[in-house]
Chains A and B, each alone.
Chain A
Amino acid sequence: MTPVCVDIDAVLDSLERLASQRPVAARIVATTNNDRSSAAELATVLGADVALAAKVMKLANSAYFGLSGRVTSLQLAVTVVGFNTVRSVATVALAGIDGTEGLPEGFWTTSLHLAAAAGTLGPLFQTGTGDALSLGLLAQLGAALLFQADPEGYAAIVAGTELGTGRFAAETQRYGITSAQLTAEALQQWRFPSGMVDALRAVQGGEEGALLRTAYELAARLIHPRHSSVPLERLCGHRVTENQAAVRLAAIRADVEALQHALEL
């Protein structure tokens, strides 16, 4: 595919402008970035954005967290889903990707699969489930940005490649950067923890990217029925083995449904 010129800085600039239109979401991200913030403080900030607060409440009451219908206060909801997840939900709003317009085909299906897969795998990679879920949920932000800059070209990449290695190669060839790396740039701009940024940058290789890399593979297996599998052991240094794959995939499928329902995506 022909390389095209996409001004990454311009893309990031536009993201910043978008953020300024959602000041509450920006405050939420800032509050979650502060280690000293409490659940009560975050709940107070979150309460100022009714739509986001409702989304977090719904998520906390979803089957994903197993507390269906019992979480009645926003503070408890924040406690249940975790700061990172609140930050991710706010970031989705901040980036203007909390709908279906202006997004590549199957964007949220992919994101939810990545979120569920990463959330399931997190504990095996010594990553908190909240961190892992957030990482998966936001990993495709870069894909949305690339699609907005080059709608036709990126749509062709999505149509012609499978999630994971093949698509990363096509993205690099066309834009000189992968969607995950672009996400890393955006998250760095919003001062997300360096662990998340590094994980996104290292998705194609490197220790930090092992969790997300494995999540991409499992998501691809679920999204693309004819996906040519890469052995999991090779992707993550034997943290997950092929004989665990079936159980993991079943769990991910169930989690995707729960998240989809809760986030209305």
Chain B
Amino acid sequence: MTASPAPPRQVAQTCPAEVVAAVFHAAVADPNIAVIVADLSEGAEPRIRWSNPAASELLATASCDLEGHPIGDFVTGPDGTSVASLLRRERTTVGSVTVRTALGERTPYRARATPAPIGLLWTLQLHPAHQDLEVALRASADAHEHRFKVLAERSPVPTMMSEQGMRLSHANDALCALLGVTADKLAGTAWMTYAHPDDLDTITDTVLGVLGGQQREIHARLVDSGGRTRDIDMRFTPLHSAALGDGFVATLEDITDRRAFEERLDYQATHDSLTGLPRRTKLWAHVAAAMEDPDAGLACMFLDLDNFKVVNDSLGHKAGDALLVEVARRLRGCVAPGDMVARFGGDEFVVASRTDSLDEALDLANQLLRVLSDPLVVDRVEIHPRGSIGVVMRGPDHRSADDLIRDCDIAMYQAKASGKGRIMVLDEGARTAAHDTLALVSDLHQAIDEHRITLCYQPILRLVEGGFELASVEALARWTHPERGVVPVDFFVRLAEEHGLVRALSKVVLETACADLAIWEYELGELAPPRVNVNISALQMSDSLVVQDVQRAMQRYGVRPGQLCLEITESALMRDRDAASAILSQLRDEGVQIAIDDFGTGYSSLAYLRRLPVNYLKVDRSFVAELQDGHTAVTQAVISLAHNLGIGVVAEGAETAAQMELLAQMECSLLQGYAISKPLTAEEFVRWCRAGRPLACTVEAS
């Protein structure tokens, strides 16, 4: 059966006949629309009851011949079925039909079937399925689509397109090639299986933003069919089309090779080329990242090779390098995955281990020392590497990677100081002291930079007939800390020596002394001291720049070489005899005077002393202090030695009139000490000179 043999509903006819005729005429007169009246009253297959001239022309059959013919002879459904399914009793339907035209062709048409108000009649209006304009537009659209398709398909840029959420409707050849699959394996949501699991959320969130109308660019990883991870820049553009829906177009750029190159550069920049270990910057980043979790345990170990310098000096740098490479390999073999062994510099290594157990950290440190100590042969020489390790556990005071690494450095120095080849866990007291020292060093640095190191001057008198004359003044450095008050000179000089500030400190002292001497010459005229003595650090005895510094200071303040005397301790001369001898010779050639300070305490050999270009010996204060107790032998010996060598001798630490008298009897012509004057500020010294240089104690001049 088919549609409806039941009688149609009666419709009230209210229009006058002439109106009906007018409408009918208008409807059928259009030569472009074929109209057929179909009648279903005779059975299942509708027959033609009437046709207009346009239909007659379309079907190439006279209207009278069409009447009574089954409509299926001329018009069928698209698949050859009956058009009866279009004939609905109470509603107009529209559908595709095939019309056998006058030329015998089967042409697609759109049929509009309207039921008549009375009887089993329908009016079929046949419109060409595709109007010329529609055909032209479709052809144009098809051409555009084809071009786009070719462009997208052949483009070397991997491209994907979605019309609904994450569902791909299109993946081009380049994308298929990138992932090593055919397009049908990427269709729908299947492509998501090629996203790296860790990046899928990012991609999905991005698509959501894109569906909301934004353009986005992200970096994500895809995994190709061979399991290789590809680094991809994905650029998403929203795609809205009324006909197709909302989706996106994404173009992909495979940056795997570029990224690998960048990573190689970064690796080279952050890793030591000799050992392959991370350098400091990488260590800092690693420790900082581990510390981001406030609860994460972390142990830092600072390892320093005890005998590296010996290997380097005796077997050469090549052997030293081989030792470092082997040590790096051994250390790396001890740590757990995720922990880091870094080369801190030279023969120093740092191990960062994620543990909050001191026992575990010590176990690891022990293991590090054990593997380190296995002998190795370099250039046929067996070496037994040894090291000292400082261990520190991350604590609440460690706010940054700096804090932690600095503390394990301190612990390592503690280990070294307690005897090499040890493991030392950071001691709180030592840490506080070390932090205190570091703060003081920083302040000292600042004080030197700001010329807040001041000088005091202690006069040195020469015994002359009928009295004394001013032979020189010794410049003594003073530092008054803004919070700690006066810092003992020995202490801050040692700090300067230990932290690389000694040259800067010496320069300040030299320049200030030269400047003051120049001022005194102007202010005091003949009363000004003929010479100023400046102390030189032991460390500067191996630094030839000291000669340059001395030349510049004298030049800058117009001081003549004979007006400057440099004091060097006997022990300083003994540290590196050849270097000291060379530097002293250069200074002496400049015309600068040289005095050996604290003489008698440094075990210098007389043969060595004889070769040195020295002008004065300064008898150590400890020997002068013994004089009153009758222990005169050493002082006498030094004075005699100086006389025999033909050089001057100064007695330091003359604190009493009795000492001065004894020294005078021993023919020590130059005296210095509290018996003459305590050290004076530059202003006090000027006043002391103008006051006639009064002695602090009364001495009978002989």
Contact = CB atoms under 8 A, between A and B. Distances in A.
Interface of A: 3-9, 12-13, 35, 39, 60, 63-68, 70-71, 76, 79-85, 119-120, 122-123, 126, 128-130, 133, 175-177, 181, 184-185, 188-189, 194, 197-198, 201-202, 204-209, 244, 247-248, 251, 255
B145 interface: yes
Contacts of A65: 164-167, 189
A64 B79 contact: no
B414 to A, nearest CB: 56
A17 B342 CA distance: 80
22 contacts: A6-B1, A7-B6, A8-B3, A9-B88, A9-B91, A60-B165, A81-B164, A82-B164, A119-B188, A128-B169, A130-B163, A130-B245, A176-B1, A176-B3, A176-B85, A181-B85, A188-B93, A201-B77, A202-B79, A204-B81, A205-B78, A251-B184
A10 to B, nearest CB: 9
B373 to A, nearest CB: 57
A202 B6 CA distance: 27
B327 to A, nearest CB: 52
Contacts of B189: 63-66
Closest CB pairs A-B (n = 6): A66-B166, A205-B79, A65-B165, A206-B78, A82-B245, A123-B169
B209 to A, nearest CB: 10
Contacts of B182: 247
A206 B80 CA distance: 9
Nearest to B165: A65
Nearest to A39: B246
B1 A175 contact: yes
Given A67-B204, A208-B78, A129 B94 contact: no
Contact of B84 (A81, A120, A176, A185): A176
Contacts of B453: none
A128 B77 contact: no
Contacts of A248: 184
Contact of B211 (A4, A76, A206, A247): A76
A130 B4 contact: no
A66 B88 contact: no
B95 A247 contact: no
Contacts of A85: 164
A67 B4 contact: no
B242 interface: yes
Contacts of A126: 145
Contact of B165 (A66, A201, A205): A66
B207 A67 contact: yes
Contact of B164 (A8, A12, A70, A129): A129
Interface of B: 1-4, 6, 44, 77-81, 84-85, 88-91, 93-96, 145, 163-167, 169-170, 182, 184-185, 187-190, 192, 204-205, 207-208, 211-212, 241-246
Contacts of A82: 163-164, 245-246
Nearest to A70: B208
A63 B243 CA distance: 24
Given A60-B165, A198-B95, 13 more contacts: A9-B89, A64-B167, A66-B167, A66-B192, A79-B212, A129-B245, A130-B164, A176-B1, A176-B2, A176-B85, A198-B78, A207-B78, A247-B185
A177 B246 contact: no
Contacts of A176: 1-3, 44, 84-85
A9 B187 contact: no
A5 B5 CA distance: 10
B4 A206 contact: no
B169 A66 contact: no
A206 B1 contact: no
A209 B79 contact: yes
A57 B274 CA distance: 60
A83 B1 contact: no
A248 B674 CA distance: 107
Contacts of B3: 8-9, 176
B164 A247 contact: no
Nearest to A181: B85
B187 A120 contact: yes
Contact of A70 (B78, B184, B205): B205
A12 B95 contact: no
Contact of A9 (B4, B84, B205, B208): B4
Which among B1, B79, B165, B170 has the highest number of chain A CB atoms within 10 Å? B165
A189 B91 contact: yes
Nearest to B169: A123
Contacts of B80: 205
Contact of A202 (B93, B96, B166, B170): B96
